[in-house]
Structure 1
C-alpha cells in the first residue's frame, strides 16, 4: 500500500529525507510502515494533562502492534483554571487556533499518514478537532479523562471550582479560614480534567458524539486502568483508519456535528461548545449561520436527559459509571443520524449495538426520552435588541424560576471590575450585572466570567441577580447568565451603550434578551459611542484582537 509519507520517503528521491528520519533513530523497517503522529499536550502545569505521558506510551504500543511507526511531538496546553481572574485568561481562547496551526505544521511538514490527538482541556480539545478537520487525514482524538471528585462540601462532592464558591462564603462569613484552607488540599484529589461537566469534559464528550473518539473514551476517569487500555486500542484503531483510508473529514460531517449538538443539548453541556463546534464546522466551510440555526432548531426537540454537576450533585465519575456518552446516544438514538461513520470504521448504530455497559444504569444521572429531567432545552440561543447576532445561555444550569429575569443594569467594563464590585457588596438583589468589552476582540480572547458567577453564588446572590456579557462562562457556572453576546461591545454592539439603571430582561422561554429602550434612544447612544483603543497592540494578542471573528462565528482567526 502506498502511504502519504511515501511522498517524501520513497526511494530513490527520498534518500535525503530517509537519512533525516534515521538520524532521529528510525529504522528501515519503521520507514516501510505508516507514519503515525501522536500530538501530545502533556505538561507539568495542567492536571488534565499530567497523565498523558503514560497514556501516550500505551498509544505507542497499540500503533506498533498494528504495524505502524510512531512519531510523537508536543503541543501547548494552557490551564483555564490557573489563568482565571488575571491577564493570563486573555490567552486561553486564542491558544485554540495556535494549537490547530501547530498540529497542521507538524503533520504537513513531516508528511504524516495519520494522527492521534492527546488532550483533555478546554481549548486543547477543540483546537485538535479543528486541526483534524482541516488536515483531512486519518485522525483519532483521545482524552486523558476526568479527575475524581473531592471532599464533600456544601452538599456535594467538591471540585477545583468549589474554591471560588468558598471564597464568596468566606467573605460573607459563612465559613471560616480553617475550612477554606482544608478545601484547598482536598477538592482536587487526582489528575485529570475537572470533575464537573465544564467545557473540558463537554468537548471530550462532543468528540465522542461526533465519532472522533472510540466509544466510551470521553469519561473514563484519568486514574482508571481502562484509560490506558483505551490508549492501546486507539493506537491500533488509527493504523486501521490509515489502511482503510478513512480521513477525519469523512467522519466530521455536518450530520456528525448535528449528532454532537443533540448530545450537547441532551446532556446540558457547556455553552462554550457552541463556540467550538462552530469553529470546527468553519474548517469544513460550513457557514456559522447554518450552525447557529442548528443549535436553535435542535434545542427545541432535544429534552435534557442527563443531570450532572453543575446541574446536580453527580460528577464525571458518576456520569461514566451511569453509561456515559454511549448510554446517552442509545437513549436518544431516534434523534440521531446513526449512519454516520466513526473512528472505529463502523457506523454510530453499529457501535451502539456492539457496546457493552459494565456498570448498571443510574436513572439519577441518565434518564430516558420519555421521562426526561426537563423538556426544555439544555442550551438556548437568545436574540433581541441586546443580541442582534445571538447570545448563548444554559437553562440546564439555571433554576427554572430564573428563566425569566428583569432587573436594573449594573455596568462594568471588565471582569476585574465586576469581581471587585461583587466582593465589596456593590451588587444587590435584582441587579443585572453587565460585563462588557470582554468579547473576542475587546477582551481580547473572550475571557470566562467564571469567578464573577462563583462569587455571586458565594455571596448568596446566584438566584437573585443575572449576569450578561460578551465574554464567556465556565461550564461549571450556574445562576442566571447569558454570554457570547454578539456583536460584542468593542465592535459597537448594543451592549456598548447600556448605562447603569437601564432595564434589561432575560427571557429564556421566549429566546429574548431585551434592553428596555426605544429604538431611537439606542441609535442615538450608538451614534455617540466611540471605539476604545485595543488593550494589546503587540504580540499574539495584538494580532488576535485584529483578526478574531465574533462569537456568533466561532471566534476563529479569520484572515
Structure 2
C-alpha cells in the first residue's frame, strides 16, 4: 500500500503554500493559540459532533469528543471538533426525518470547504447515522463512524423496560384503566436511565449496526453501551485509527460497494431491524453508487433468519444483554457464511479478518441458525394496487393471525382526526377492521413522520385486543410493534392509490405472497381518480420548500434527487480555491 506524504495531505492546500492566502490560513490558526508545529504536515481530523442539550441520546458526546481528540493526538494528527446539526427523536416536530437530508448536506459541505484530511462522525440517534454517512460518502475523504451506543436497560418495579416498546405497551394499559397514575409516572422515570440511544433494537441500534456491518465502524462498536468505559476506549481508538486511514488514503469508495451494502442488509434482517432501515439503507447505498432496490431487501428478508432475541422483534432481551452476549461481531460470526467477508473495512482489514475469534456467550440472546427467533428476517416488502411502488411490514413483531387478513377499511385523512377517533369508546369498529392513515408520507406528513403505529382504539382495548391491521404512508418508530404496514408508495398526498381508498372498502393482505390490495374494481378506481383533487403544497419558503421539491419517495430512500450519485460529480474539491 502506498502511503501519503505530508505534501499529499488535503490540508496542505490550505497551510503549505508560500502565498498570501495560506499566510491568512496559518495566521488565523495561530490566532487560536496553535503553532505551525501543531497543524503543519499532520493529518487534520474533523470531529463532527452532533451533541446538543436537547438530544438526550448524545448527552455524553462532549466527553467522547475529548476521547477522540486524545486518540488523534496520540497518533500524530491534529483534531478539530466541529458542531453538526443535532437531530433527535425526542423533541423535534413534526419529525427528525424532515432534517436528515439537511444533516447530510451540512456534513458534505463542512468536509468539502474546510482543511480536513479525515473525519470522525459522531452520531447514533436515528437519523444522525444515515445523515452523517450519506454526507461523508459524497465528500469522499477518509471517515470512521463513532456510534453513540445504547443506554442502560430501563427499570421499574423490578422489571426491565425497553424504550419505546414498553411506552406503547403501558400506554395502552393506562388507556384501558389497568395501571394507576403512580405506576405510569414510575415507568416514565425508569424507562430512560442513562445517556445513549434506545436500548431496544429500534432505528438507532439498527442504523449503527448497519454502519458496523458496512465496515464503517471499529468492529462491534455499535453494540457497546454508551456509559460503559469500553465506549471511551473505543472513541480514543477511533481517533488513532482515522489518522492512519488518512495516511493509507482509505476513502469510503474503497469500503462501500455492493457487497458491503448487502452485508448491511443481511445483518439488519438478522437483528430484527427497524422498518426505517429500508429507507435509510437505500439512501446510503445510492450515495455510494449502489442501486439497491426494495425487491433485493425483500429477497434477503425471505432467506435471512432473525437470530437476535432483542425487543421488539425478540421477546426477552435488550441491547445491554446483546452486548454481554457477544454483540454484533458474535451475531455476524453466526451468519458469516451469508456475508461477503472479503469486503474492506475502516480497520484496513477485511470483514472476515475482523470476525476472527468472535464468540457467542449467551445463545438465547444471539440464537444459532438452527434455533432462530423467526425463520425469516425482520422485514417484508408488499406490493399491490394500494402500493404499486411498495410498502413494508415487520412480520415478526405482529400477531401471526394478521399475516393473511381481509377486512373493511376505516380511513383517516389526517393525524388529529385519527387521534380523536381512537379515544372515542363508541367508535364503530371491530378487530377485523383495517385502520388507515394517509397524507403522512414524505410530502404529506410533512417529512414522513413516525405516525404509522396507529393506536388501538379504546373501544377495542376495553375488549382485550392489543393488535389489529393498520396501514399508512407514514413511518413508525423502530421500537414499535404490531401489524402495521408502512411506507406505502407512492404516498396519498401526491395522488398515490391510497388517496382513492374509502371507508368500507375491503382490504386484503397476503403476507406469504407479499400482496396488499383494495378489492375495488378498476372502473370504480378510475372514476375516483378522475375526481381526485390534490392538496396545495405545504411549504412556501425555506427548507420545507426545498424539501418538497426535491425529496424522493419512500421506495427511493427519500434522498434529494440532486444529491444522488448519478447527479453530477459527487467528490472532489471546489473549482475555485
TM-score, normalised relative to structure 2: 0.91
Measured in 1, the distance between the counterparts of 2:158 and 2:282 equals 36
SS where residue 389 of structure 2 aligns?
A: strand
Gaps of 5+ in 1: none
Once the 2 structures are TM-superposed, how far is the Cα of residue 71 of structure 1 from its aligned partner? Answer: 1.1
Moved more, 529-538 or 70-79: 529-538
Aligned to 2:114: 110
- What is the CA distance between 1:451 and its match in structure 2? 6.0
Cα distance, 1:342–1:16 mapped onto 2, change above 3 Å: same
Query: Per-residue displacement from partner, 1:283-337 (whole Å, max 9, x unpaired)?
Result: 12333xx432320222222111112111213111011111121011101111110
Q: Quote the residue 1:379 is aligned against.
A: 379
> What residue in structure 2 maps to residue 16 of structure 1?
24
Q: Alpha-carbon deviation of 1:539?
A: 2.7
Hey, what does 2:94 align to over in structure 1? 89
2:163 aligned residue (159, 163, 173): 159
| 1:330 paired to 2:338 | no
Report the CA distance shift for 1:204/1:319 in structure 2 as closer, same or farther (over 3 A).
same
Other-structure match for 1:220: 224
Alignment of 1:65-464 (within 5 A): 65-83=74-92, 88-90=93-95, 92-152=96-156, 156-287=160-291, 290-311=292-313, 312-353=315-356, 355=358, 357=359, 361-425=361-425, 426=427, 427-449=429-451, 452-453=454-455, 463-464=466-467
Q: Write the distance in 2 (CA, Å) between the matches of 1:155 and 1:458.
A: 23
Cα distance, 1:453–1:200 mapped onto 2, change above 3 Å: farther
Deviates more, 1:518-527 or 1:383-392: 518-527
Aligned to 1:47: 56
CA contact (8 A) 2:45 2:80 kept: yes
1:28 and 2:36 equivalent?
yes
Aligned residue pairs, count: 549
CA contact (8 A) 2:72 2:242 kept: yes
Given that 1:442 and 1:545 are in contact with CA atoms closer than 8 Å, whether structure 2 keeps it comes out as no
| TM-score, normalised by the number of residues in structure 1 | 0.94
Of 497, 504, 510, the match for 2:513? 510
Contact 1:117 1:139 in 2 (8 A): yes
CA contact (8 A) 1:254 1:286 kept: yes
Q: Distance in 1 between matches of 2:382 and 2:465?
A: 20
Does 1:56 find its partner at 2:59?
no
- 1-side partners of 2:222 and 2:416: how far apart? 34
Task: Indicate conservation of the 8 Å contact 1:402/1:463, yes or no.
Answer: no
**2-structure distance, mates of 1:436, 1:154:** 40
Runs of 4 or more consecutive aligned structure 1 residues displaced over 4 Å after TM superposition: 152-156, 453-464
Aligned mates of 1:219, 1:25 — CA distance in 2: 38
CA distance in 2, matches of 1:89, 1:207: 26
CA contact (8 A) 1:63 1:238 kept: yes
Post-superposition offset of 1:362: 1.4
| CA distance, structure 1, for counterparts of residue 415 and residue 157 of structure 2 | 27
Q: Deviations over 1:254-296 (max 9, x none)?
A: 2101000000111110010110011112212333xx4323202
Deviations 1:44-80 (A, max 9, x none): 1122100011111111100000110011111122221
Quick one: structure 1 residues 430 and 464, their matched pair in 2 at CA, closer, same or farther if it must change by over 3 Å? farther
Residues 101, 151 of structure 1: CA spacing in aligned structure 2 closer, same or farther, 3 A cutoff? same
1:6 matched to 2:9? The reply is no
Instruction: Quote the Cα distance in structure 1 between the aligned partners of 2:84 and 2:29.
Output: 20
SS at match of 1:212: coil
Seen in structure 2, the aligned counterparts of structure 1 residues 461 and 34 have a Cα distance that, compared at 3 Å, is farther
Residue of structure 2 aligned with 1:538, choices 538, 541, 547: 541
User: Mean Cα displacement is larger for which, 469-478 or 417-426?
Assistant: 417-426
Consecutive unaligned residues in structure 2, runs of 5 or more: 563-577
Say if 1:458 and 1:223 are closer, same or farther in 2 by CA, change over 3 A: farther
Q: 2:488 aligns to what SS in structure 1?
A: coil
C-alpha distance in 2, partners of 1:535/1:378? Answer: 34
